[in-house]
C-alpha cells in the first residue's frame, strides 16, 4: 500500500475544515428553522425567525458546494465510491435542501394561512431531514462503512443502523440548540426570551445524546486503527469530549443570559466534532467497519483516492488565491446584518420570508 503525500493529507484536512465550516454555519440556520414553530406565537414571530437567517442561509450552503467540489477534484475515488453507493441518501439530502430553499422564497408570495403553513412545514422538514441524514452519514464515517471490493453498496438502508441513527438524532438536537442560541442572539423581546428559555433544555439533550454516541462509537472501535499513519484513539476521543463539554458550557451560559458566549461555545463544539470524525478516519477516506476490503487494506486510503500531485498543486494555488475573498465577503455579510431584529422592523406585509 503506497503512502500518502503531505499535499494529499493537507487536502484531506482542508476538506474536513470545509465540512466544519458548513456545519457551523448551516447548523444554526437549520436549528432556527426547526425551533421556529416552538418559539413563534404569531406570523410576525415566525417571520422574525426566518429573517434572522435570511441574509445567511444561501451563503452558508456555498460551503457544501465547495466541500463537494474539492472532494471530486482532490479525491475522485472517494467521491465516486461514496456517492455511487449512497446515491439515495444524497438524493434525500438534495430534495430536503431544495424544498427548504424554495420555502424561503414561496412563503411570502401569498397571505393565505394554509399556503404559509405548507411552506413553513417544508422549511422545518427540510432542515430536520438534512440534519438527520448528515448526522447519520458522519457517524458512519467515524464507525466505518461495510465495504466490499466494489466499495459501499448497501445504499440508504445500510447507513441506518442504530448507532448511526442515534448520531443523526444527536446532530439534529445539537443544531436545534445551536439555532436557539443564535435566535436568542439575533432577536429581542418575548421571542428572544422564549428562545433563551428553550435553549438550555435542548442543550442538555444534545450533550446527553452526543455523549451516548461518543461512547457507542468508542466501544465499537476502529478496525483500521493499526494501519500505518492512523492516529491514536485518544485524539478523536479528546476532540469529541471537549465538544461535549463545550455544549454543556454553552447550556449554562445561555441559561444565564450570556447568549453571545454560548454561541461561541457551540460554534467551537461543532468543528471539534467534525475534527473528531476526521481524526478517527485518518488515513482513510472511507474506512471499513467490517475489516479488510482486501488483504492489508482496511478501507480506501488517502493515497489510493488522491488525485495526481500536479492536480493538487494547482488546486492549492487556486484555493490560496480565491478563498480569502470568499471569507472576506461572507464575514462582511455577517457584520452588515449583525443587529438584533425587532417586531417593529416587520410592520406591514413583506415578500419572501420577511
Query: pLDDT band at 184, cuts 50/70/90?
Result: very high
Higher pLDDT, 81 or 150: 81
Query: pLDDT band at 239, cuts 50/70/90?
Result: very high
Percentage of residues in the chain having pLDDT higher than 70? 93
Reported pTM: 0.92
Q: What is the pLDDT of residue 350?
A: 43
Question: Smallest Cα–Cα separation from 340: which of 175, 189, 197, 123?
Answer: 189
Q: Average pLDDT for residues 94-120, to the nearest whole number? A: 91
Q: Average pLDDT for residues 324-336, to the nearest whole number? A: 90
Q: At what angle do helices 6-39 and 62-74 cross, to 10 degrees?
A: 150
Q: What is the pLDDT of residue 292?
A: 58
Percentage of residues in the chain having pLDDT higher than 90? 67
Higher pLDDT, 294 or 12: 12
Supply the DSSP symbol for 187: B
Report pLDDT digits (tens) over 273-307: 999 999 999 999 988 887 656 555 678 889 889 99
Q: Average pLDDT for residues 72-96, to the nearest whole number? A: 88
Length of the chain: 354
CB 49 within 8 A of CB 36: yes
Question: Smallest Cα–Cα separation from 59: which of 265, 336, 270, 345?
Answer: 336
Q: What is the pLDDT of residue 293?
A: 60
Q: What is the pLDDT of residue 267?
A: 96
What does the domain layout of the chain look like in residue ranges?
Answer: 6-334
CB 299 within 8 A of CB 286: yes
Higher pLDDT, 127 or 345: 127
Q: Average pLDDT for residues 339-344, to the nearest whole number? A: 85
Amino acid at each position: 500500500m503506497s503512502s500518502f503525500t503531505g499535499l494529499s493529507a493537507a487536502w484531506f484536512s482542508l476538506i474536513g475544515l470545509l465540512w466544519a465550516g458548513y456545519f457551523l454555519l448551516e447548523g444554526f440556520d437549520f436549528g432556527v428553522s426547526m425551533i421556529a414553530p416552538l418559539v413563534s406565537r404569531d406570523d410576525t414571530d415566525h417571520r422574525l425567525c426566518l429573517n434572522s437567517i435570511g441574509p445567511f442561509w444561501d451563503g452558508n450552503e456555498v460551503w457544501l458546494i465547495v466541500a463537494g467540489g474539492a472532494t471530486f477534484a482532490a479525491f475522485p475515488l472517494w467521491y465516486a465510491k461514496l456517492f455511487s453507493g449512497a446515491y439515495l441518501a444524497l438524493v434525500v439530502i438534495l430534495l430536503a435542501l431544495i424544498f427548504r430553499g424554495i420555502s424561503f422564497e414561496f412563503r411570502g408570495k401569498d397571505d393565505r394561512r394554509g399556503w404559509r403553513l405548507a411552506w413553513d412545514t417544508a422549511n422545518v422538514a427540510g432542515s430536520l431531514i438534512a440534519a438527520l441524514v448528515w448526522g447519520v452519514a458522519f457517524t458512519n464515517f467515524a464507525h466505518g462503512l461495510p465495504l466490499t471490493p466494489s466499495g459501499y453498496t448497501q445504499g440508504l438502508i445500510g447507513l441506518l443502523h442504530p448507532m448511526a441513527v442515534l448520531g443523526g438524532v444527536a446532530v439534529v438536537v445539537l443544531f436545534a440548540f445551536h439555532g436557539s442560541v443564535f435566535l436568542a442572539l439575533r432577536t429581542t423581546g418575548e421571542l428572544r426570551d422564549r428562545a433563551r428559555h428553550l435553549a438550555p433544555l435542548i442543550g442538555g439533550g444534545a450533550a446527553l445524546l452526543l455523549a451516548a454516541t461518543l461512547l457507542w462509537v468508542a466501544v465499537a472501535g476502529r478496525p483500521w486503527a493499526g494501519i500505518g499513519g492512523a492516529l491514536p484513539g485518544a485524539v478523536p476521543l479528546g476532540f469529541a469530549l471537549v465538544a461535549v463539554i463545550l455544549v454543556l458550557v454553552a447550556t449554562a451560559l445561555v441559561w444565564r443570559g450570556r447568549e453571545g458566549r454560548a454561541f461561541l461555545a457551540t460554534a467551537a463544539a461543532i468543528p471539534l466534532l467534525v475534527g473528531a470524525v476526521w481524526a478517527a478516519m485518518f488515513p482513510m477516506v472511507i474506512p471499513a467497519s467490517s475489516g479488510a476490503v482486501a488483504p492489508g487494506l482496511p478501507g480506501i486510503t488517502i493515497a489510493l483516492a488522491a488525485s495526481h500531485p500536479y492536480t493538487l498543486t494547482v488546486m492549492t494555488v487556486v484555493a490560496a488565491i480565491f478563498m480569502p475573498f470568499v471569507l472576506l465577503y461572507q464575514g462582511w455579510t455577517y457584520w452588515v446584518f449583525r443587529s438584533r431584529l425587532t417586531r417593529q422592523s416587520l410592520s406591514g406585509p413583506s415578500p419572501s420570508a420577511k
